[in-house]
Amino acid sequence: MTTKAKRLNMNQKYQLMTRGLDWETTYQDMDDVFPYDKYEGIKIKDWDKWQDPFRLTVDAYWKYQSEKERKLYAILDSVAQNNSQLSISDARYMNAVKIWMQGVTPLEYNAFRGFCTLGRGFRGAGARVACQFQAIDEMRHHQTQIHAFSHYNKFFNGMNQQSRIRDRAWYLSIPKSYFEDAMTAGPFEFITAISFSFEYVLTNLLFMPFVSGAAYNGDLATTTFGFSAQSDESRHMTLGLEIIKFMLEQHEDNVPIIQGWLDKWFWRGYRLLGLVGTMMDYMLPKKVMSWRQAWEIYWEENGVALFNDLARYGIKMPKHHETATKEKNRITHEFWSTIYQFSHATALYTWIPGNEELDWLSAEYGELFDTVYRPRYEYWKELDDKGERFFQERLPVVCNVCQIPIFHTMPDDPLKNCCLVSEYKGTKHQMCSEGCLDIFNNEPEKYCQAYIPPQQIYQGNCGGATLDDYRKWLHIRDEDTGEYYGSEDHQMWEKWKAQAGKPTDEAA
């Protein structure tokens, strides 16, 4: 008589999958099988010390995820059937969705690619398995976001060229270059950049405002995918912290390497998040919190506490964090001013905030806003009222590292652009800050290859020499761009409001 084998419990399954299924190769040298996990200089003495706090197995993962998928898609069906686009706060809000879809959704796909590489690249099986699950999560986020947004694409402009403009548009080269910088580094730098600096240190500044902003502004589709992704995100955050501690505990020689990466990726992440802060402060008709307030809570309190915890490993606060904090009262206004004047070369609409919004910004940002940015907006409003809506026709100088137009001002002088220069191989390169200059100078061989949109336009590689030629080359249509008031999105929204018997902008 045969006896049924005892069912394994979750922990046993996990142990077998991540330890028992792995082996040391004998016909081939292990270094040939895993050629990428040593060249960065990170020393791992014992991969078995890697602990995945979730101990996920394939069947458990499948079960959790499929349950979430069923719920998500039931709600997305309902969003479509009930014309939920009518429930958003205002059509201006949709530009926050556009910027997410154009800029962040492609990052999810790149994260999928990056974690696939890591899922093959590390010689420790536990780390490989965790990265493989995360790769699937990232692909799922990419897909669920596109599915959630596809309903809005039926009504609003600016969403129909996502894959083309992701590769071409100047303002999307900011997130694109961030991720490609990580993907072209080694596996340990990638995981430090993405799992720790991005997912752990900065994710609250990205995810929280976007998903809460969606909820505040009546966007059910985005809120739902946000919540559906939330449990994955918390798993990713935990992975990020575990991998950092694992690397730090494995060898003291790892500490300075990791410190260098934390310095770099803190600054790159901070620069990227300026775009998110701008969305929070300007694109959400109903505000969640200001960038300044989010920075104080999520960086000055939580982020600093995290770095204090890491001090016992010899890790110091990331370089230039003081500058980031100095900029908290200005970065989003400088960024909005930039998008406002270049919005004829984006698939976004921009506008001057209304009086109530300006009052909110004054209350959040105080004196600097009242003396500098508010009068600036009032001047642009005057021009607009005269029929001379302000657009910049000349291409800007763009930072060779973060790829943002150099609108940034001096750390101690918010009235003067900061533009720093470094020469490499006889060619001068411009950077927006000491943070980006350090990154360039540490690896000039890498950043001298950067594809910087204005440089490429002037070299003749982007359809022509003017912003208008360039926009056509991006396949962004006239009606996708420029001023919000009077745009097709605005006109449609006004029509819907009139049909519903709500007061329109003209009447208000």
Partner 1 sequence: MAVKFIGDSYDFPCANQVENYGGDMNLYIVWDHHLIYCAPNAYRVPVNIKFRDFLEQVFAPDYKQHPDAEKVKWDEGVWQMENEAWTPDFDKTLEENNIAHNSFIRVNTPGLEGMHGVGN
Asked if 366 is part of the footprint of partner 1 (rule: CB under 8 A), the reply reads no
Asked if 392 is part of the footprint of partner 1 (rule: CB under 8 A), the reply reads yes
Q: How far is the CB of 70 from partner 1 (least distance, A)?
A: 44
Residue 266 Cα to chain centre, angstroms: 13
Judged by CB under 8 A, which of 34, 36, 54, 485 binds partner 1? 36
Number of residues that this document lists for the chain: 508
Judged by CB under 8 A, which of 58, 311, 421, 498 binds partner 1? 421
Residue pair 178/450 in contact (Cβ under 8 Å)? The answer is no
Residues touching partner 1, count (CB under 8 A) = 60
The tokens for 9 are 């419990």
Q: How far is the CB of 375 from partner 1 (least distance, A)?
A: 5
Asked if 314 is part of the footprint of partner 1 (rule: CB under 8 A), the reply reads no
Asked if 266 is part of the footprint of partner 1 (rule: CB under 8 A), the reply reads no
Which CB atom, from 162 or from 346, has the smaller least distance to partner 1? 346
The tokens for 388 are 């001379």
Q: How far is the CB of 189 from partner 1 (least distance, A)?
A: 9
Asked if 465 is part of the footprint of partner 1 (rule: CB under 8 A), the reply reads yes
Which CB atom, from 142 or from 271, has the smaller least distance to partner 1? 271
- Distance (Å, whole) CA 265 – CA 318: 9
Site for partner 1 in 97-136 (CB under 8 A): none
- Distance (Å, whole) CA 80 – CA 388: 39
CA atoms within 13 A on the CB side of 10: 9
Asked if 84 is part of the footprint of partner 1 (rule: CB under 8 A), the reply reads no
Asked if 390 is part of the footprint of partner 1 (rule: CB under 8 A), the reply reads yes
- Distance (Å, whole) CA 269 – CA 177: 11
Asked if 380 is part of the footprint of partner 1 (rule: CB under 8 A), the reply reads yes
Q: In 3D, which of 213, 224, 307, 308 has the Cα closest to residue 266? A: 307
Judged by CB under 8 A, which of 4, 7, 45, 416 binds partner 1? 416
Asked if 341 is part of the footprint of partner 1 (rule: CB under 8 A), the reply reads yes
Asked if 371 is part of the footprint of partner 1 (rule: CB under 8 A), the reply reads yes
Amino acid present at 37: D
Q: How far is the CB of 423 from partner 1 (least distance, A)?
A: 9
Which CB atom, from 20 or from 35, has the smaller least distance to partner 1? 35
Q: How far is the CB of 388 from partner 1 (least distance, A)?
A: 7
Helix axes 254-278, 173-183, angle to 10 degrees: 160
Q: How far is the CB of 272 from partner 1 (least distance, A)?
A: 18
At residue 50, the 3 state secondary structure works out as coil
Q: How far is the CB of 396 from partner 1 (least distance, A)?
A: 4
| Bridge-based pairing state of the strands 482-483 and 349-350 | parallel
Residues near 162 by Cβ (< 8 Å), separated by ≥ 6? Answer: 101, 102, 105, 106, 146
Q: Which residue has the tokens 């003017």?
A: 466
Helix (H) / strand (E) element for 207: namely: helix 203-216
Residues near 75 by Cβ (< 8 Å), separated by ≥ 6? Answer: 220, 221, 224
Q: Site residues (CB under 8 A) for partner 1?
A: 35-36, 39-41, 186, 260, 334, 337-338, 341, 371-372, 375-376, 379-380, 383, 388, 390, 392-398, 405-407, 409, 414-417, 419-421, 424-430, 442-443, 445-446, 448-452, 454-456, 458-459, 465
